[in-house]
Copies of this chain bind each other. A is one copy, B any other.
Amino acid sequence: MPHTYRLVFDCPDQVGIITRVGKIITKNGGWISQATHHSDEESNRFFSRFEIKADSLPFGVKELESKLEAISEELNMNLRVVDSEIPKRVVMMASKGSHCLTDLLDRWNSGDLKCDIACVISNHEDMRGLSEHYGIPYHYVPIEKDNKQKGFDEVERLVGEANPDCVVLARYMQIIPQALCEQYVNRLINIHHSFLPSFIGGKPYHQASRRGVKLIGATSHYVTEQLDEGPIIEQDVVRVNHSDSTEDLVRLGKDVEKTVLARGVRAHLEDRILVYGNKTVVFK
């Protein structure tokens, strides 16, 4: 991947946004290698993502950001300016199921998922061995049925220490408390094992089996206080039929879960996602 600065923003739509932003980039010699824009008719909102070759600018990402400050304020932008070479910090959370975490760690270890993994936090010991094989600190934080808050206080402390750009719930089988959701808005990515909004809540494959659907799916989404209702990032499905038991659905679903989660995490790490209301713009 070439070294670029990413300029990602949304703001109320009006005439001249691209041109004015482009002018600031070009005036400083910035070479735009990719750019995509989208205006949403309903909300009259403009979404934009530029990639600028880093070596075409005579300065770094901080100075680029400061040069965009005035227009950002004037146009009332949500603006991020990001250096593609500075890896984002990620915390992984998992329970007993290994498929999503194993998949993410292998992608990371192969260089296909550019980030620093601060640690793995889990309410079980199962994934310690694998995490430590990859040299990643592992924190076992049990969540007790009768005192969940105690465990989540420790989770909050550990996550706070890691100061992550992104927390990935890689089949973490506990409901995240509201306080944590609020603290990491649009940074907490979950994988739900159904094609939302079908089969919200527990045991979605059992629900799918009972309904007799012919495809099952998975959904990666940002977590909000409302269970399985947050902004959807990515979805996919796999075909099943009458001969597949619930146990088969669980197994077949894993392939979709891990792919859909990995695509969601990757899009986040590459600053391709903009959230508005309860929906996402995901620029390819």
Contacts and interface: CB of A to CB of B under 8 A. Distances in A.
A35 B34 contact: no
Given A22-B22, A243-B284, A15 B33 contact: no
A22 B112 CA distance: 35
Per assembly, the copies of the chain total 4
A36 B33 contact: no
A196 B197 CA distance: 10
Given A98-B110, A133-B129, A251-B112, A243 B37 contact: no
A144 interface: no
Q: Give 3 closest A-B pairs by Cβ, nearest first.
A: A212-B279, A19-B22, A19-B26
A213 interface: yes
A282 interface: yes
Most chain B Cβ neighbours within 10 Å, of A17, A23, A254: A23
A233 B211 CA distance: 11
Most chain B Cβ neighbours within 10 Å, of A22, A47, A110, A212: A212
Contact of A195 (B47, B97, B215, B280): B215
Interface string A182-204: 00000000000001111100000
Contacts of A98: 106, 109-110
A213 B242 contact: no
Interface string A30-47: 111111111111000001
Most chain B Cβ neighbours within 10 Å, of A214, A215, A259: A214
A232 interface: yes
A237 interface: yes
B35 A26 contact: no
A96 to B, nearest CB: 10
Contacts of A278: 211-212
Contacts of A237: 215, 237
A212 B219 CA distance: 12
Contact of A37 (B15, B34, B110): B34
